[in-house]
Chain A
Amino acid sequence: MSELSLFLGCVAPNRYPGIEAATKKVFSKLGIGLVDLEGASCCPAPGVFKSFDKLTWLTLASRNITLSESKKDDILTVCNGCFSTLKDVNDILKEDVNLKKDVNLKLAEVGREFKGTQDVRHVIEYLYQDVGTDKIRDAITKPLNLKVAVHYGCHLIQPLKESHVEIAENPTFFDELVEATGATSVDYEDKISCCGAGGGARTAILDSTLKMAEKKLQHMTEAGADCVVNACPFCHLQFDAGQAEINQKFGKNYHLPALHYMQLLGLAMGFSPEELGISLNAMDTTKFIEKVKMDTLKSKICITAN
């Protein structure tokens, strides 16, 4: 049986632990081994740290990778930022012997060595490429009657593009995974656009990044979406906490629940919204949760009636 190492990052465990809980539940239901990558730190985040000091960024990221090198299988991330950093660093160090030497000199001081035996995977592309939508469909017990606005996020696509993975060109893989839950992925303007949070921009210039997120929220709402589904806890934060900020700062009234794909899949596998942490969002999700529960009830009645 495979055993992936779960790299948590910062925002999922420390702001949206529902995403962590959902990931663990979903993988156990799929029968795929997933163990915590104990002792991991911040990836470190590509926006700030990569641009502050590349060697520090490489060193800390490679330490995270070494934690998994004693394990049989690859590292799994549930975050676009972590994916971008860890995959980038892993690929750079596998290629560049001199940089690898520099980094290993530092790692030696803490008794570690980067070997380059692992790959770094993002949960979305992993599920699509290695598990497949058929197997996902088979694991679903409560097909969802939802209209979903899919948000890929820049740093899910870009690292795949750089490794010339075919699915990254005019991507549909995330939509297909969403539709495997029974939900419909709605088309909306500027779908591939940025949520605004990345690159350290949210920290630097909040209001402008909120305007970027607002544009997306507006297009998603116009498309009749019941929720926005993302692949990244930081995009998730921008669409959830950021949505509350948009409403408050700009006097708007958006009410589009944000779910990480792990939470959406969890719902379709029959886990309750509460145990997936959907009710812990900054935005009120009561109505959404009611709708999901009503739909499940209706389909139960249908099944008994038949």
Chain B
Amino acid sequence: MAEQEQAYKIRRFLQLEKIGQNSEGQMNIPFIFYCTTCYKCQDNCPQGVKIVDAVLAIREAAVHHGTMLPSHKKVAQMLIASGHAVPVNEEAKKRRLQLGLSELPPTVASSKDQLAEVKLLVHLSGFDKLVAEKNEYNLPMVKSTAFKTCDQVLAEGKA
């Protein structure tokens, strides 16, 4: 990702974290959500540092502080509503029938009881609250920068 996004500096995030500064704070939002978890950096790290785990831990801390990209929040809400992060749609139903498959996949999509189980577990874990709509209060920065590239954000910061 660093190749595509010049300001995406994984080393910087980790340094900040080490010296006790919140790397999930303003400066690095939304960059921490840009890692594709490809493990290239980790594979090449001569010290065998678990870089991807660190990135994910920083993300988790950010999310627990109410900071997430609206697009990721939508995906999370989709899972809560349907049991699938990518739920079935009309086009998929048509194609499934055309291929000789059941119209709805044999997953939670086909069973109210199973979906109820998923919803209860999501609730017990507090995940529904974590990604609830009202959590989008703080950090107006998330809203304004979420869809910009790192370069754009940096340029604006300099201006």
Cβ of B84 and Cβ of A106 under 8 Å apart? no
The smallest C-beta distance from A70 to any residue of chain B, in angstroms, reads 14
A21, B83: Cα distance in complex, Å: 21
The smallest C-beta distance from A113 to any residue of chain B, in angstroms, reads 13
Task: List, in ascending order, chain B residues with CB within 8 A of A56's CB.
Answer: 121-122, 125-127, 130
Cβ of B35 and Cβ of A53 under 8 Å apart? no
Task: List, in ascending order, chain B residues with CB within 8 A of A196's CB.
Answer: 1, 4, 36
Within 8 A of A (CB), among B38-71: 38-40, 55-56, 59-60, 63-64, 68-69, 71
The smallest C-beta distance from B95 to any residue of chain A, in angstroms, reads 5
A45, B30: Cα distance in complex, Å: 20
Interface SS, A side:
helix
Chain B contributes a number of interface residues (CB within 8 A of A) equal to 64
Cβ of B59 and Cβ of A13 under 8 Å apart? no
Interface string of B7-39 (1 = CB under 8 A from A): 000000000000000000000001001111111
A residues bordering B, Cβ < 8 Å? 8, 10-11, 13-15, 17-18, 20-21, 36, 38-42, 44-56, 59-60, 63, 106-107, 109-110, 112, 154-155, 157-158, 193-194, 196-201, 203-205, 207-209, 211-212, 275, 277, 280
Closest 7 CB pairs of A and B: A39-B114, A13-B105, A194-B38, A199-B37, A51-B59, A10-B86, A41-B83
Give 14 new A-B contacts, CB below 8 A, not counting A36-B106, A60-B118, A201-B35: A13-B105, A14-B92, A38-B110, A38-B114, A39-B108, A41-B118, A42-B79, A53-B64, A59-B124, A198-B37, A198-B38, A199-B37, A199-B38, A209-B36
